[in-house]
Chain A
Amino acid sequence: MFGYYLELALRSLRRSRGLTALMVLTIGFGVAASMTTYSVFRAVSGDPMPWKSSKLFVPQIDMWGPSGRGSDGEPPNAMDYTDAMKLMRDHRAKLQSAMYEISPSIVPADAGKHPIHVAGHAVYGEFFPMLDVPFKYGSSWNADDDAQRAAVTVISGKLSEKLFGSANSVGRTVNIEGRDYRVVGVLGDWNPQPRFYDVVNNGSGFATDTEDVFVPFLTAVQASIRNDGNTDCNVSQTESGFVGLQHSSCTWIAFMAELDDAATVTTYRQYLDGYAHDQQQAGRFGWAPNNRLRNLPEWLDYLHVVPSDTKVALLVAIGLLVACLVNTAGLLLAKFLRRSGEIGVRRALGAPRLAIYAQFLTEAGIVGLAGGVLGLLLTGMGVASVSWVLPRDIAALARVDLSLLVLTLLVAVMATTLAGLYPTYRAACVQPAWQLKSN
């Protein structure tokens, strides 16, 4: 039967080409607009580490007190040196790392080449297993390297390629800010978006370039590799320079800890409050503990990592799709009712209502399918040209993949069939006797 309906539908669509083209175009544009914006939205709102994000926590300590809080009473987003070091020493989480953004220069051994600047982070060795960072060669450094301020580094595959060619570069040395560091690990393909481990220092949370170099936190502090990220001060530094920054209450350090179950989270929370309480007793904090411990998804949400522009664009595109569907419903209604005579004849010859439903919904589905195919083409074009419209760091994340293609087709067919429901219902209501008589 389906074959017959298909044939009927195609014949009917061919008969009024203008109207058919109009419907297909409408669906195509509506679906493409919403799918293109959805692809961007999906890219920026995705969970960067779905298998682990609920176990990763960002502690916040209120070291500034009421004068440094925003109107919402939230403590600062980053940590000062004193608190970060205390948390690292106490080591109450399974895995944890303080970190700060660096942008050191690397001096090539070849004197003919200009030095290059790379982006990276000073982190603890546990950073890598905590974030399941993939290694191509070697591994991260260990706790002893951290404690002894060893001159070791983990570099990206891209930087390794640039400096040493395609060979395994573990064991080679890299000159970072005038000092030699031994390469202990080379990263595999790793460029998580958003840059979730240090959102505060990444502006919008997204970054186009990869991070190329990681060095031990304490080594970097000892070598005075300056932080290249934000520094926020509630009270101006009293001592100058990088050492002064370490003695100040200015915040410049990001922190992440892995806590595996609810019990450890509760314990960690108590530990943070206990620490703040001790500081209050000691007279460093003149206020009651006001700490936060958010897991990664909550943290990204709190920092508004998904740009509101993206949400507005998605809403507008969905609105466009709805308007397109209303339009299609109107056109289908016109098209179906024009064939009241034909419906009357079919009904009179014994076709049940159900058969009319099947026939006309098939026709709507075909229009949807054609619209979906057009929508696919337009979505492809849309995603390709999105970099022309959106900032590069965000546009680069939008891509067409199989799930988007399937979704586009599905949305087109489902939506059109939905739009065809009412017109079909009206068509099925046609009274055979009345139609036959009036003709």
Chain B
Amino acid sequence: MQIQPILAALKRHKAGTILIALQIALTLAIVCNALFIIKQRVTHLSRATGIDEQNILTVRNQWVGQPPSQQVIGLMATDLAALRQIPGVLDAYSTNSYPLRQGGWSEGLNYKPNQDHSTAHTAIYFSDEHTLNTLGLKLVEGRNFRADEIGHMDVRDKLGPPSIIVTRDLAHKLYPDGSALGKVLYLNDNSTTIVGVVERLEVPWVDNFAAPWAEQTTLVPVRLAMSVGGFYVIRTKPGELDSVEKSVSKTLYALNRMRVIDPKDGVERFSEVRAKAYARDRGMAILMGVVCVVLLAITAAGIVGLTSFWVGQRRKQIGVRRALGATHHDILSYFLTENLLISLAGVIIGALLAIGINIWMVNHFEMARLSLTYVVAGVVVLLLLGQAAVLAPALRASRVPPVEATRSV
């Protein structure tokens, strides 16, 4: 296939050529960045929390009349005993927060007391001996909390548990060279010993600020008895989630009326917690997906439209070429090559544009650097799209009979 005559022909359609190339460039730039955003969001929202999500219910219980912390200890114990009695419940415990709740407690862990800068940042989950079983956490080293180890505190008391269980990620951050088990650390200037290590457990936040320490979590053997209330986490036997969900509120209100469990979202399945936490990521991914599809469709349609026009305009010339011995195939490949040349120009500009836009977004928004894979993938997609779009008009062109050369308009 000779490129020279194609270029010569394109020179006579400068405006159309430039417009198609420009559109391909814009499409590539936007699609690359959109795909990259989708990929980032999907990676983010499919992160595992480390807990048995399918069988977990969370309950937000608020006390009425501000009972003092000492009284709340008893109220919580009664509630938990009743919850564990519900048929289908495997285990339950009370806590301040859980993964994806988007609100919680964080502290710094130190090697020494009175350290200026913390060694590791960690989320704190208030726990007891039922926590590992309820969340379905896998203990990889050490032991669970013992019942006699569990203390109590009010929200503004100083947190200083004698023992803690940490995630493997946190253990590795603290002691990269060996086992963390049995090591003594300082939490709020109180010494504490690592008695167990669990495989994986996410912090309550999914936002960027928590991303560097997303799996650095600490379980403390303390029940947080707040007069405002707190959370219960319940694990059901497989398949019993529905029935347990229905009876939780009833059971708790029957014990004690002076509480509030929001009828809308007081009792939530973990799948709902997950959907809420990642609503923004999911939304952004969908939005970008829609934009990509619309943009690719419009670009393809534009190529079809303009090429059809060109074919219509050049029927006579095509007829002449056919009369001079050009085959169907020659005509077909002429238009395919023409499109390829325009597309190539478009994707080169587009790739530069895509990288430029990304650099600008990195500087202005919390965005990561675009990986070149996306640019390459985008280039391939657009070249194929161009060829596919041009196929129908090109086939029509190849069927122009040689006799066309002899006809005037």
Question: Are chains A and B native binding partners rather than an unrelated pairing?
Answer: yes
Binding site for B on A (CB under 8 A): 18-19, 22, 25-26, 29-30, 33, 37, 103, 105, 107, 114-117, 177-178, 203, 224-226, 228, 236-237, 240-242, 244-245, 307-309, 311-313, 316-317, 319-320, 322-324, 326-327, 329-331, 333-335, 337-338, 341, 388-392, 422, 426, 439
Contact B16 A33 (CB under 8 A): no
**Given A333-B16, A334-B306, A334-B309: A308 and B291 interface contact (C-beta under 8 Å):** no
Instruction: Scan B304-324; emit 1 where CB is below 8 A from any A CB, else 0.
Output: 011001101100000000000
Provide the residues of chain A in CB contact with B16, threshold 8 Å. 330, 333-334
Does any Cβ of A come within 8 Å of B301's Cβ? yes
Provide the residues of chain B in CB contact with A107, threshold 8 Å. 64-65, 258
The residue that A115 contacts in the complex, of B64, B287, B366, with Cβ under 8 A, is B64
Measured between alpha carbons, how far is A29 from B295 in the docked complex, in Å? 9
Contact A29 B260 (CB under 8 A): no
Contact B260 A115 (CB under 8 A): yes
Q: Quote the shortest CB–CB distance from A20 to chain B (angstroms).
A: 10
13 further A-B pairs in the complex, CB-CB below 8 A; given A26-B302, A312-B284, A334-B309: A18-B305, A19-B305, A117-B62, A203-B102, A228-B228, A236-B158, A240-B157, A309-B283, A312-B367, A316-B288, A330-B20, A335-B309, A391-B280
Does any Cβ of A come within 8 Å of B26's Cβ? yes
Closest to A340 in B: B313
Measured between alpha carbons, how far is A107 from B22 in the docked complex, in Å? 66
**Given A245-B156, A324-B298: A330 and B65 interface contact (C-beta under 8 Å):** no
Contact B64 A333 (CB under 8 A): no
Measured between alpha carbons, how far is A391 from B259 in the docked complex, in Å? 29
The residue that A105 contacts in the complex, of B19, B62, B305, with Cβ under 8 A, is B62
Measured between alpha carbons, how far is A307 from B284 in the docked complex, in Å? 12
Contact B65 A389 (CB under 8 A): no
For chain B, the count of residues having a C-beta within 8 Å of the partner chain is 60
Contact segment of B30-38, B77-85, B240-248: B30-38
Does any Cβ of A come within 8 Å of B95's Cβ? no
Contact B227 A319 (CB under 8 A): no
Contact B228 A323 (CB under 8 A): no
Provide the residues of chain B in CB contact with A19, threshold 8 Å. 305
Binding site for A on B (CB under 8 A): 15-16, 19-20, 22-23, 26-27, 29-30, 33-34, 37, 62-66, 102, 154, 156-158, 188, 227-228, 253, 257-260, 262, 279-280, 282-284, 286-288, 290-291, 294-295, 298-299, 301-302, 305-306, 309-310, 312-313, 361, 365-367, 408-409
23 contacts between A and B (CB under 8 A): A26-B298, A37-B287, A103-B228, A114-B253, A114-B257, A115-B260, A177-B65, A226-B227, A228-B228, A240-B156, A240-B158, A308-B366, A312-B284, A323-B30, A324-B298, A327-B302, A334-B310, A337-B313, A341-B409, A388-B283, A391-B280, A391-B283, A392-B279
* Secondary structure call for the A interface: helix
Provide the residues of chain B in CB contact with A309, threshold 8 Å. 280, 283-284
Contact A327 B253 (CB under 8 A): no
Contact B26 A326 (CB under 8 A): yes
Q: Quote the shortest CB–CB distance from B96 to chain A (angstroms).
A: 13
Provide the residues of chain A in CB contact with B253, threshold 8 Å. 114
Provide the residues of chain A in CB contact with B19, threshold 8 Å. 326-327, 329-330, 333
Contact A311 B188 (CB under 8 A): no
Most chain B CB atoms below 10 A, which of A105, A224, A240, A311? A105
Provide the residues of chain B in CB contact with A392, threshold 8 Å. 279
Most chain B CB atoms below 10 A, which of A22, A224, A319? A319
Q: Quote the shortest CB–CB distance from B308 to chain A (angstroms).
A: 8
Contact B409 A177 (CB under 8 A): no
Provide the residues of chain B in CB contact with A323, threshold 8 Å. 23, 26-27, 30, 295, 298-299
Provide the residues of chain A in CB contact with B257, threshold 8 Å. 114-115
Provide the residues of chain A in CB contact with B29, threshold 8 Å. 319
Q: Quote the shortest CB–CB distance from B268 to chain A (angstroms).
A: 14
Contact B258 A115 (CB under 8 A): yes
Measured between alpha carbons, how far is A422 from B279 in the docked complex, in Å? 43
Q: Which 8 pairs across A and B sit closest by C-beta, in order of nearness?
A: A334-B309, A330-B19, A389-B283, A327-B302, A105-B64, A178-B65, A323-B26, A308-B365
Provide the residues of chain B in CB contact with A422, threshold 8 Å. 15
Measured between alpha carbons, how far is A29 from B33 in the docked complex, in Å? 20
Contact B302 A330 (CB under 8 A): yes
Contact B260 A117 (CB under 8 A): yes
Contact A334 B305 (CB under 8 A): yes
Q: Quote the shortest CB–CB distance from A333 to chain B (angstroms).
A: 6
Measured between alpha carbons, how far is A307 from B158 in the docked complex, in Å? 35
Provide the residues of chain A in CB contact with B280, threshold 8 Å. 307, 309, 390-391
Closest to B305 in A: A331
Measured between alpha carbons, how far is A367 from B119 in the docked complex, in Å? 64
Provide the residues of chain A in CB contact with B188, threshold 8 Å. 236
Contact B66 A177 (CB under 8 A): yes
**Given A114-B260, A177-B66: A391 and B279 interface contact (C-beta under 8 Å):** yes
Q: Quote the shortest CB–CB distance from B63 to chain A (angstroms).
A: 8
Measured between alpha carbons, how far is A391 from B206 in the docked complex, in Å? 14
Provide the residues of chain B in CB contact with A29, threshold 8 Å. 294, 298
Provide the residues of chain B in CB contact with A317, threshold 8 Å. 291
